[in-house]
C-alpha cells in the first residue's frame, strides 16, 4: 500500500537531525532502518507529517570502547552488530539475540537504536538491553542525558525518548570473564517476532551462581526483569534443580497479552521453561 | 548419452530429461509482463473502499469529499453500478435446488463480509486513488454476524441473507447403496464390530499466491481487452461477457505471466467486473492492483469444513463402511466453484481402501466471511485428511499397526483397474511398492526404535511417525463426467501447432500456466514428437486472441489433458507432413518412416526430408500434392475418458517438545506415482511446493476471524506462511505406473504433495504424544495447541483471536479498511524503528 503524503528531511549530523525534528511540525517520525516504520506507514497505521531520515548521520554508526563500557551507535545496523568483534567479546548476548531478528535483509537495514526506540514488546533487543543494564544516551536541543535501561521502557511502543529528542548511543557494561549468556527465543517460524523470549546473563563463582540478570521479552507491554528468579539464583548452587526451582518464578508479576500466538497463561508457562533453559545454558550446564 | 545414441547421432529423448525451466529467468527477475507492470496511455487507477464491518445495511454513502480530492476522476458506489453489474457467476450448482443469493461485485444496500467493496475511486494516479479511499464516508446499520457453521444451521439462527429461508445453500448426498456402487451404509454400521467417530476440522486457509491480483482493462471502440493475473483467461472471458453483456467476440482476455495461483486465481473476481464496467463508463483504460492486505482479506479463501467421520470395521481390521457428513463454509456468497469444492471431495473419502459401503452428505453453509473456493487440491485434501486420520484412529481402537491396517484394506496392484465404492475407476498403481520405498527412504525401523527409546526414558522430546497413503483424482476432467456433476463447463483442452517457414515451431496451448513450467514441458513433448530441437519451440498461451480455445490450469490437469492435446496436435502435423514428404520424395506414404524429425524412404538410404524443411517447402507451396491444403499446421482437442489417479505414500517423523508444544519435522519421505514423468525437475519442484503447502496447513496457516467477523490474520505477520527455513529436507522418490487414459501416460502432480502431506504430519504429531493421552490436535498445530492437548486434554482448543502486536497491531487496520484510523503516533512516542 501507499503511505499518506509526508514531508521528508535527511540531515547529516545529530544537530541537524534535532533541528529537523523540532521544525517538523506536530507529528514527526524518525526513520532509522525503516523496517518497522515503513510498513506501518504503508499500512497507514502511522501518517506522520514529517519523516526525519537518519540514514546519512554517520556519527551515529559504529561500536567503540569507552573504559568499562561498549558504546553502540544508535544507527549501527543489526548486521554490523553481528560482525563486530567487541560485541562478540563483551556482549555476546546482544549478538545472539540480534541474529534472531527477522531475516538477513531486515538485519542489513534495521538498526540497533531503531529497534530499541520502536519498543515493540515482541522485539528482541529491549529485553537484552534491560538484562545487560545498558544506558541510553538521548540527545535533545538542550544537550544530552543518560537514562538507565530500567527507566527507558515506559509503555507499549513508548520509551523515555521525548518528542524532540533522539537516541544517539547505547552504553553497555562490558561483561566477560566468568559471565555466561544465552538468549532463548520462542517463535513459530524463523523470521518471526518472539512469542516469548528470555535473555540471561549469569556469573558463576565456585560452583555457585553469584549473580544472574534476566530479561523477559513480550511478557507485558515493556520488557521486564525477572526479579524473583534473579533473587532466587543469587548464591544458589549451579545445579539443574536449583535453576529449575528459581525459574519457576519467571512469570511472577507479568501480565502478558493473549493473541493468536499464545494466550497469557501459555506465555507465562513458556517464560518459566525458557528461563530455565536460558539460565542453564548461560551457567554452562 | 549412451553409446548407442552416440553411434546413431540421434538426440536423447526430451521426455524424462531434467531440463531447467526456460521461462524462469524472466519470471524470477520480474522482467516480464506482470499485469501490474502494464502502463497504457491515459490509464486511470482504481482503489476500492471496503467494508470494515461483517454484516450491515448500508444506510448512506457520501463520496463528496473523495470526488473533490486531488487527482480523482470519479467515484462509483454500488448504487451507481447496480443496474449493470449483474451477479458474479457460480458455475457449479451441485444440486438442482441449490440456493444462490447472487453475488454483486460491489455492495448496493448491504454488506455481508468484511472487505466487501462499497465504493471505487478512480484517479489519475494510484497514490491519489489510495488517498481518497479514506474520504468516503459510509454509514452502516449493523446486523447480527453469522460466523459459526454449527450455530448457523440450527433452527432460528440469524441469517446471512435475510431474504433466504436458512443459511444452508444446498444439501448434497452421495450414497453408494443408492448409486449401486456399494451396499447399504446403515446396515454396514449396524453389523460392524467396531465403529470409530471423529469430528475433524479443516481450518480456513488463504491461497497466498506471490503475485497479487491485478487487472487492466483497455476499451477501444466497442472492443475491450482485459489483462488479468488469472489462472483462467478463457473461462473469465466467457463469464465476464455473460455478466457485463459485452459480447464475447468483443472481449479479449490476456493472462500475461502470472505469479502463482493455487486455485486462488481460479475465479471471476469482483474487481475484474468492476474494471470492465468502469472502463466502459469512462472510455478510458483502468488498472486495479490489490495490496497484500486486500488480498488476504478479500481474495477467496479455501477449505473451512467441519467433518463428521464414522468408520466401521470388524475386529480383524477389515473396513466395512464409511460415513461422512460435512458442514462446508461457503462464506457470504457463492463464487465460481464454491459449492463444488466440498462436493468434489465426495468421491475421494474412500481413499485407496476397499470399502463395501459409503455415504457422503454435505451442507453448504453461508457465513459472514469472504467466500471459499478452490485451493490447491480442492476437496481432495479434505477427503484425504479425513480418511487418513480416521484410519489411524481405527488402528488405535483395534490395537493394530496403522500401516498393517492400511495394507489389509488397500487395493492390491493386481486389482487395477478398480472401481471404488464412490464409483471411480482407479486406473493403475501399486501401493505396496510405493510404501516399501517410502519406508526405506525414511529409515522407518530405526526411527521406530528411537521412538521407543524416547518413550521409555520419558524424554522431553517425543518422536512420532505419521502415515498418509493417498490417491487423488486428477486431470480434470472428462467432460461428460463434469456434466453429470452439474459443472458448468467441460474438461477438454485444446492445442495448436504452427510450423513456421524457418522450421521453428509455435505451440499454442489452452492450458494457461501461472508458474508451473508449461513452456518447458510442452517444448519437451513437442521436441520428441516432431523431432525438432527443444530450443526451436516456443509455447504461446494465455491470450484468448492467440489461444482461442482453452480451459486453463487447475486440478493437476495441464499435462494430462493440455499436454495430451499438444501430443495429438503434433501427431496431426506429422500426418499432414507425411503427405507432403511422400510427394516431394516421390515415394508412397506407406514407405515413409518418421524418426528423429525426418521422413526417410524405406530401402532407399539417403533419401529423406526433415519436417523443418517441409515447413519451408509448404510455406513456399510451389510443389505439393493435389487435394491437400498447403499447410502442415494442426490443432487438436483432447477430452479424457477418465480421471487419472496419482498415488503415493508419505511418511513424516515428528519431534514434539512436550514442555513447550513445539513440533519439528525430523524427517519427511514420500514416494509418489504420477505416471510418466516428462521433466523430473519440474515434478520434484511441484512435490516440494505441494509438501510445503500441505505441511503449512498442518502446522502454520489459519485464517482467523474474531467475534465481530474481522479477519485478524490480516497480514503475513499473523497468517504464517512457512519459508524454506521452517521446512525440513524432503526425501522424495517415484514409482511409475503410466496412466492408460492419455497418450503421455501422465497422471498429474500439481496437487499431490499438498493433498498427501497434511494428514501425515498430524498423524505424526499424534503418534508422538498419544501415549500421553492425546487423541486429536486441531490444525494448525500451534505450539500452544499441542501444549494444551498434552497438559489439559482436548484438541488444543480455539486460539485467542487478537492479532499479535507486531507493527503495532497491523491487523486492526487491515480489516478496518478505510474506516477507523488508529495511529500509532497517538499511543506512543515511536521515534525510530528497527
Per the domain annotation, does A72 fall within a domain?
no
Identify which of A43, A125, A260 has the shortest CB distance to residue B813: A43
- Looking at residue B806, its pLDDT comes to 63
Per the domain annotation, does B89 fall within a domain?
no
Cβ separation B830–A157 shorter than 8 A: yes
- Please say which residue of B620, B638, B656 terminates a domain: B638
Same domain, yes or no, for B601 and B678?
no
* Domain residue limits at A30: 7-55
- Looking at residue B828, its pLDDT comes to 32
- Chain A residues with beta carbon closer than 8 angstroms to that of B824: 40, 45-46, 157
| Dihedral (CA of A191, A192, A193, A197) sign | negative
- Chain B residues with beta carbon closer than 8 angstroms to that of A257: 802, 805
Q: What is the pLDDT of residues B397-438, one digit of tens each?
A: 999 999 999 999 999 999 999 999 999 999 999 999 999 999
Asked if pLDDT for residue A12 goes beyond 50, the answer is yes
On whether the CB atoms of residues B744 and B677 are closer than 8 A, the answer is no
**Phi and psi (nearest 5°) for B449?**
-65, -40
Q: Tell me the average pLDDT across B364-368.
A: 98
Return the percentage of chain B with pLDDT > 90, whole number. Answer: 94
Same domain, yes or no, for B509 and B544?
yes
Terminal C-alpha separation, chain B: 55
Report the Cα A218 to chain-centroid distance in Å.
11
- Looking at residue B476, its pLDDT comes to 86
Same domain, yes or no, for B625 and B645?
no
Closest by CA to A169, choosing from A138, A145, A195, is A138
Give the pLDDT band (50/70/90) at residue B807: low
Return the axis-axis angle of helices B783-792 and A264-282, rounded to nearest 10°.
Answer: 100
Asked if pLDDT for residue A83 goes beyond 60, the answer is yes
* Domain residue limits at B449: 428-487+639-834
- Looking at residue A177, its pLDDT comes to 79
Closest by CA to B545, choosing from B497, B498, B510, B501, is B510
Closest by CA to B770, choosing from B780, B779, B762, is B762
- Chain A residues with beta carbon closer than 8 angstroms to that of B807: 36, 39-40, 43, 45
Return the percentage of chain A with pLDDT > 90, whole number. Answer: 96
Same domain, yes or no, for B782 and B701?
yes
Closest by CA to B133, choosing from B209, B45, B39, B201, is B45
Return d(Cα B200, Cα B203) in angstroms, integer.
9
Cell numbers 503418534 label which residue?
A: B767
Give the pLDDT band (50/70/90) at residue B3: very low
Do β-strands B730-735 and B663-673 pair in parallel, antiparallel, or remain unpaired? parallel
Per the domain annotation, does A106 fall within a domain?
no
Element (DSSP H or E) covering residue B217:
strand B214-220
Does the CB of B131 have a partner CB in chain A at under 8 Å? Answer: yes
Q: Tell me the average pLDDT across A32-50.
A: 94
Per the domain annotation, does B37 fall within a domain?
no
Same domain, yes or no, for B578 and B674?
no
Cβ separation A45–B803 shorter than 8 A: no
A vs B, Cβ pairs < 8 A, gives 185
If you measure CA to CA, which chain B residue comes closest to A277? B659
- Looking at residue B475, its pLDDT comes to 87
- Please say which residue of B638, B670, B703 terminates a domain: B638
Per the domain annotation, does B385 fall within a domain?
no
Nearest CA-CA distance, residue B726 and chain A, Å: 6
Point out the least confidently predicted range of A95-99, B479-483, B542-546. Answer: B479-483
Cβ separation B660–A40 shorter than 8 A: no
Does the CB of A188 have a partner CB in chain B at under 8 Å? Answer: yes
Residue A143's beta-bridge partner residues? A140
Say which CATH number the domain at A31 has. 3.30.43.10
Per the domain annotation, does A158 fall within a domain?
no
Cβ separation A119–B830 shorter than 8 A: yes
Identify which of B662, B827, B834 has the shortest CB distance to residue A36: B834
On whether the CB atoms of residues B528 and B743 are closer than 8 A, the answer is no
Q: What is the pLDDT of residues B484-494, one digit of tens each?
A: 999 999 999 99
Return d(Cα B432, Cα B648) in angstroms, integer.
10
Same domain, yes or no, for B678 and B630?
no
Does the CB of B124 have a partner CB in chain A at under 8 Å? Answer: no
Element (DSSP H or E) covering residue B638:
strand B634-638
- Please say which residue of A17, A38, A55 terminates a domain: A55
Say which CATH number the domain at A189 has. 3.30.390.50
Non-local (6+) Cβ contacts of B826 within 8 A are none
Per the domain annotation, does A41 fall within a domain?
yes
Is A14 exposed, middle or buried (CB count within 10 Å of its CB: 0-12, 13-18, 19+)? middle
Does the CB of B828 have a partner CB in chain A at under 8 Å? Answer: yes
Q: What is the pLDDT of residues B164-203, one digit of tens each?
A: 999 999 999 999 999 999 999 999 999 999 999 999 999 9
Q: Tell me the average pLDDT across B560-568.
A: 98
On whether the CB atoms of residues B361 and B169 are closer than 8 A, the answer is no
Per the domain annotation, does B340 fall within a domain?
no
The helix/strand count (H/E) of chain B reads as 25, 28
Interface test with chain B among A30, A39, A43, A99, by most B beta carbons within 10 Å: A43
**Phi and psi (nearest 5°) for A284?**
75, 20
Return d(Cα B416, Cα B406) in angstroms, integer.
17
Identify which of A186, A189, A257 has the shortest CB distance to residue B805: A257
Same domain, yes or no, for B451 and B579?
no
Return d(Cα B451, Cα B459) in angstroms, integer.
10
- Looking at residue B60, its pLDDT comes to 97
pLDDT higher at B102 or B823: B102
Does the CB of B662 have a partner CB in chain A at under 8 Å? Answer: yes
Same domain, yes or no, for B562 and B459?
no
Cβ separation A188–B700 shorter than 8 A: yes
On whether the CB atoms of residues B756 and B670 are closer than 8 A, the answer is yes
Does the CB of A220 have a partner CB in chain B at under 8 Å? Answer: no
Per the domain annotation, does A224 fall within a domain?
yes
Return d(Cα B86, Cα B425) in angstroms, integer.
40
Per the domain annotation, does A119 fall within a domain?
no
Q: What is the pLDDT of residues B597-633, one digit of tens each?
A: 999 999 998 889 999 999 999 999 999 999 999 999 9
Same domain, yes or no, for B515 and B606?
yes
Same domain, yes or no, for B625 and B673?
no
If you measure CA to CA, which chain B residue comes closest to A101? B834
Asked if pLDDT for residue B516 goes beyond 50, the answer is yes
For the complex shown, is ipTM > 0.95? yes
On whether the CB atoms of residues B214 and B255 are closer than 8 A, the answer is no
| Dihedral (CA of B327, B328, B329, B333) sign | negative
Same domain, yes or no, for B433 and B526?
no
Per the domain annotation, does B143 fall within a domain?
no
Domains of chain B: total: 2
Asked if pLDDT for residue B320 goes beyond 50, the answer is yes
Asked if pLDDT for residue B270 goes beyond 70, the answer is yes
DSSP A89-133: HH-HHHHHHHTTSS-HHHHHH-BHHHHHHHT-TT-SHHHHHHHTT
Cβ separation B717–A106 shorter than 8 A: no
Same domain, yes or no, for B658 and B759?
yes
Interface test with chain B among A189, A192, A250, by most B beta carbons within 10 Å: A189
Cell numbers 492390491 label which residue?
A: B412
On whether the CB atoms of residues B75 and B66 are closer than 8 A, the answer is yes
Cβ separation A263–B805 shorter than 8 A: no
Closest by CA to A63, choosing from A149, A148, A174, is A174
Cβ separation A192–B814 shorter than 8 A: no
Does the CB of A146 have a partner CB in chain B at under 8 Å? Answer: no
- Looking at residue B827, its pLDDT comes to 31
- Chain B residues with beta carbon closer than 8 angstroms to that of A261: 782, 784, 804
Cβ separation B831–A111 shorter than 8 A: no
Residues 263-322 of B with CB under 8 A from A: 291, 293
Give the pLDDT band (50/70/90) at residue B824: very low
Q: What is the pLDDT of residues A249-264, one digit of tens each?
A: 999 999 999 999 999 9
Identify which of B803, B805, B823 has the shortest CB distance to residue A47: B823
Do β-strands B194-205 and A63-66 pair in parallel, antiparallel, or remain unpaired? unpaired
On whether the CB atoms of residues A1 and B293 are closer than 8 A, the answer is yes
Return d(Cα B389, Cα B759) in angstroms, integer.
6
Domains of chain A: total: 2
- Chain B residues with beta carbon closer than 8 angstroms to that of A43: 293, 715, 807, 810, 813-814
Give the pLDDT band (50/70/90) at residue A176: confident
Lookup: cell for A192 = 518471526
**Phi and psi (nearest 5°) for A136?**
-110, 125
Cβ separation B804–A193 shorter than 8 A: yes
- Looking at residue B829, its pLDDT comes to 32
Q: What is the pLDDT of residues A193-247, one digit of tens each?
A: 999 999 999 999 999 999 999 999 999 999 999 999 999 999 999 999 999 999 9
Closest by CA to B295, choosing from B216, B215, B238, is B215
- Looking at residue B219, its pLDDT comes to 98
Does the CB of B807 have a partner CB in chain A at under 8 Å? Answer: yes
- Looking at residue B804, its pLDDT comes to 84
Identify which of A35, A115, A258 has the shortest CB distance to residue B800: A258
Mean pLDDT value across chain B: 94
- Looking at residue B832, its pLDDT comes to 35
- Looking at residue B11, its pLDDT comes to 74
Closest by CA to B335, choosing from B307, B359, B364, is B364
Does the CB of B802 have a partner CB in chain A at under 8 Å? Answer: yes
Nearest CA-CA distance, residue B456 and chain A, Å: 22
Lookup: cell for B350 = 474412500
Local structure of A274: helix, strand or coil: helix
Identify which of A115, A189, A273 has the shortest CB distance to residue B726: A189
Return d(Cα B409, Cα B356) in angstroms, integer.
11
Say which CATH number the domain at B534 has. 3.30.365.10
Give the pLDDT band (50/70/90) at residue B595: very high
Q: What is the pLDDT of residues B90-100, one digit of tens each?
A: 999 999 999 99
- Looking at residue B302, its pLDDT comes to 98
Identify which of A118, A188, A259 has the shortest CB distance to residue B832: A118
Per the domain annotation, does A272 fall within a domain?
yes
Cβ separation A118–B830 shorter than 8 A: yes
DSSP B696-724: HHHHT----B-TTS-BS--STTTS----G
- Please say which residue of B591, B607, B638 terminates a domain: B638
Per the domain annotation, does A78 fall within a domain?
no
Amino acid at each position: 500500500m501507499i503511505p499518506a503524503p509526508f514531508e521528508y528531511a535527511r540531515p547529516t549530523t545529530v544537530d541537524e537531525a534535532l533541528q529537523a525534528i523540532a521544525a517538523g511540525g506536530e507529528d514527526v517520525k524518525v526513520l532509522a532502518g525503516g523496517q518497522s516504520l515503513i510498513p506501518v506507514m504503508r499500512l497507514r497505521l502511522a501518517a506522520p507529517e514529517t519523516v526525519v531520515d537518519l540514514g546519512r548521520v554517520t556519527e551515529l554508526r559504529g561500536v567503540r570502547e569507552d573504559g568499562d563500557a561498549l558504546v553502540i551507535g544508535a544507527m549501527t545496523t543489526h548486521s554490523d552488530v553481528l560482525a563486530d568483534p567487541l560485541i562478540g567479546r563483551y556482549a555476546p548476548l546482544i549478538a545472539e539475540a540480534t541474529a534472531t531478528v527477522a531475516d538477513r535483509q531486515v538485519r542489513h537495514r534495521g538498526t540497533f537504536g531503531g529497534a530499541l526506540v520502536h519498543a515493540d514488546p515482541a522485539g528482541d533487543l529491549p529485553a537484552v538491553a534491560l538484562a545487560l543494564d545498558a544506558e541510553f544516551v538521548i540527545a535533545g536541543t538542550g544537550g544530552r542525558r543518560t537514562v538507565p535501561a530500567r527507566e527507558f521502557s515506559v509503555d507499549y511502543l513508548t520509551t523515555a525518548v521525548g518528542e524532540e529528542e533522539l537516541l544517539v548511543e547505547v552504553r553497555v557494561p562490558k561483561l566477560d570473564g566468568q559471565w555466561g549468556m544465552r538468549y532463548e527465543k520462542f517463535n513459530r517460524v524463523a523470521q518471526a517476532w518472539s512469542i516469548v523470549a528470555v535473555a540471561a546473563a549469569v556469573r558463576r563463582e565456585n560452583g555457585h551462581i553469584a549473580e544472574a540478570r534476566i530479561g523477559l521479552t513480550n511478557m507485558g507491554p515493556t520488557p521486564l526483569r525477572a526479579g524473583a528468579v534473579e533473587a532466587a539464583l543469587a548464591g544458589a548452587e549451579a545445579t539443574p534443580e536449583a535453576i529449575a526451582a528459581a525459574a519457576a518464578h519467571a512469570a511472577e508479576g507479568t501480565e502478558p497479552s493473549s493473541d493468536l500466538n499464545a494466550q497469557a497463561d501459555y506465555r507465562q508457562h513458556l517464560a518459566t521453561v525458557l528461563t530455565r533453559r536460558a539460565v542453564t545454558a548461560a551457567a554452562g550446564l | 548419452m549412451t553409446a548407442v545414441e552416440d553411434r546413431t547421432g540421434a538426440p536423447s529423448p526430451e521426455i524424462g530429461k531434467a531440463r531447467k525451466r526456460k521461462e524462469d529467468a524472466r519470471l524470477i527477475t520480474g522482467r516480464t509482463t506482470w499485469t501490474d507492470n502494464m502502463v497504457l496511455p491515459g490509464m486511470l487507477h482504481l482503489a476500492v473502499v471496503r467494508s470494515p464491518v461483517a454484516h450491515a445495511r448500508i444506510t448512506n454513502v457520501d463520496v463528496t469529499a473523495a470526488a473533490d480530492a486531488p487527482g480523482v476522476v470519479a467515484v462509483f458506489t454500488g448504487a451507481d453500478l447496480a443496474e449493470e453489474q449483474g451477479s458474479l457467476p457460480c458455475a457449479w450448482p451441485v444440486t438442482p435446488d441449490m440456493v444462490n443469493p447472487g453475488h454483486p461485485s460491489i455492495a448496493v444496500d448491504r454488506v455481508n463480509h468484511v472487505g466487501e467493496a462499497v465504493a471505487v475511486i478512480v484517479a489519475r494516479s494510484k497514490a491519489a486513488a489510495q488517498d481518497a479511499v479514506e474520504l468516503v464516508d459510509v454509514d452502516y446499520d449493523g446486523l447480527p454476524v453469522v460466523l459459526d457453521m454449527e450455530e448457523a444451521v440450527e433452527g432460528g439462527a440469524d441469517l446471512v441473507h435475510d431474504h433466504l429461508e436458512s443459511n444452508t445453500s444446498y444439501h448434497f448426498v452421495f450414497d453408494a447403496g443408492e448409486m449401486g456402487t456399494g451396499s447399504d451404509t446403515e446396515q454396514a454400521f449396524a453389523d460392524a464390530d467396531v465403529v470409530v467417530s471423529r469430528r475433524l476440522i479443516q481450518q480456513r486457509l488463504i491461497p497466498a499466491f506471490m503475485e497479487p491480483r491485478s487487472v487492466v482493462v483497455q476499451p477501444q471502440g466497442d472492443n475491450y481487452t482485459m489483462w488479468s493475473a488469472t489462472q483462467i483467461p478463457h473461462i473469465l472471458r466467457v463469464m465476464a461477457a455473460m455478466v457485463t453483456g459485452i459480447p464475447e467476440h468483443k472481449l479479449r482476455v490476456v493472462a500475461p505471466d502470472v505469479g502463482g495461483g493455487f486455485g486462488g486465481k481460479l475465479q471471476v473476481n469482483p474487481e475484474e467486473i468492476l474494471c470492465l464496467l468502469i472502463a466502459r463508463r469512462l472510455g478510458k483504460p483502468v488498472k486495479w492492483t490489490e495490496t497484500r492486505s486486500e488480498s488476504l482479506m478479500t481474495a477467496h479463501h479455501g477449505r473451512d469444513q467441519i467433518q463428521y467421520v464414522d468408520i466401521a470395521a470388524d475386529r480383524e481390521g477389515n473396513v466395512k463402511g464409511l460415513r461422512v457428513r460435512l458442514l462446508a463454509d461457503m462464506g457470504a456468497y457463492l463464487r465460481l466453484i464454491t459449492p463444488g469444492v466440498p462436493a468434489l471431495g465426495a468421491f475421494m473419502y474412500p481413499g485407496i481402501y476397499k470399502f463395501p459401503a459409503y455415504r457422503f452428505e454435505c451442507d453448504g453453509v453461508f457465513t459472514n466471511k469472504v467466500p471459499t473456493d478452490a485451493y490447491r487440491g480442492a476437496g481432495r485434501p479434505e477427503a484425504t485428511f479425513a480418511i487418513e486420520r480416521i484410519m489411524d484412529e481405527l488402528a488405535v481402537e483395534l490395537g493394530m499397526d496403522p500401516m498393517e491396517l492400511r495394507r489389509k484394506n488397500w487395493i492390491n496392484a493386481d486389482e487395477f483397474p478398480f472401481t471404488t465404492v464412490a464409483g471411480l475407476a482407479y486406473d493403475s498403481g501399486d501401493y505396496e511398492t510405493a510404501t516399501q520405498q517410502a519406508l526405506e527412504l525414511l529409515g522407518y525401523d530405526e526411527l521406530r526404535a528411537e521412538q521407543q527409546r524416547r518413550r521409555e526414558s520419558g524424554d522431553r522430546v517425543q518422536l512420532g511417525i505419521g502415515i498418509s497413503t493417498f490417491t487423488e483424482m486428477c486431470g480434470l476432467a472428462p467432460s461428460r463426467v463434469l456434466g453429470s456433476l452439474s459443472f458448468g463447463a467441460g474438461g477438454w483442452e485444446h492445442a495448436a501447432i504452427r510450423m513456421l517457414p524457418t522450421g521453428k515451431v509455435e505451440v499454442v496451448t489452452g492450458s494457461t500456466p501461472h508458474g508451473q513450467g508449461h513452456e518447458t514441458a510442452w517444448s519437451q513433448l513437442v521436441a520428441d514428437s516432431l523431432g525438432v530441437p527443444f530450443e526451436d519451440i516456443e509455447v504461446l498461451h494465455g491470450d484468448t486472441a492467440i489461444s482461442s480455445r482453452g480451459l486453463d490450469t487447475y486440478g493437476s490437469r495441464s499435462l494430462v489433458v493440455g499436454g495430451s492435446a499438444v501430443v495429438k496436435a503434433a501427431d496431426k502435423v506429422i500426418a499432414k507432413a507425411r503427405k507432403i514428404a511422400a510427394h516431394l520424395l516421390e515415394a508412397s506414404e506407406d514407405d515413409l518412416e518418421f524418426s528423429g524429425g525426418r521422413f526417410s524412404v524405406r530401402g532407399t538410404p539417403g533419401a529423406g526430408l526433415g519436417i523443418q524443411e517441409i515447413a519451408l517447402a509448404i510455406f513456399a507451396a510451389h510443389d505439393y500434392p493435389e487435394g491437400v491444403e498447403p499447410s502442415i499446421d494442426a490443432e487438436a482437442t483432447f477430452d479424457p475418458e477418465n480421471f487419472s489417479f496419482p498415488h503415493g505414500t508419505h511418511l513424516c517423523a515428528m519431534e514434539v517438545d512436550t514442555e513447550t508444544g513445539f513440533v519439528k519435522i525430523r524427517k519427511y519421505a514420500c514416494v509418489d506415482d504420477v505416471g510418466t514423468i516428462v521433466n523430473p525437475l519440474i515434478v520434484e519442484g511441484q512435490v516440494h511446493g505441494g509438501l510445503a503447502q500441505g505441511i503449512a496447513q498442518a502446522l502454520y496457516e489459519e485464517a482467523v476471524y474474531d467475534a465481530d467477523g474481522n479477519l485478524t490474520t490480516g497480514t503475513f505477520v499473523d497468517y504464517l506462511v512457512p519459508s524454506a527455513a521452517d521446512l525440513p529436507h524432503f526425501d522424495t522418490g517415484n514409482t511409475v505406473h503410466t496412466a492408460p487414459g492419455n497418450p503421455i501416460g501422465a497422471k498429474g502432480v500439481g496437487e499431490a504433495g499438498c493433498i498427501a502431506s497434511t494428514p501425515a504430519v498430524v498423524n505424526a504429531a499424534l503418534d508422538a504424544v498419544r501415549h500421553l493421552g492425546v487423541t486429536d490436535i486441531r490444525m494448525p498445530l500451534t505450539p500452544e495447541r499441542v501444549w494444551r492437548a498434552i497438559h489439559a486434554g482436548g484438541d488444543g482448543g480455539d486460539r485467542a483471536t487478537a492479532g499479535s502486536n507486531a507493527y503495532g497491531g497491523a491487523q486492526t487496520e487491515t480489516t478496518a479498511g478505510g474506516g477507523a484510523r488508529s495511529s500509532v503516533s497517538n499511543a506512543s512516542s515511536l521515534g525510530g524503528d528497527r
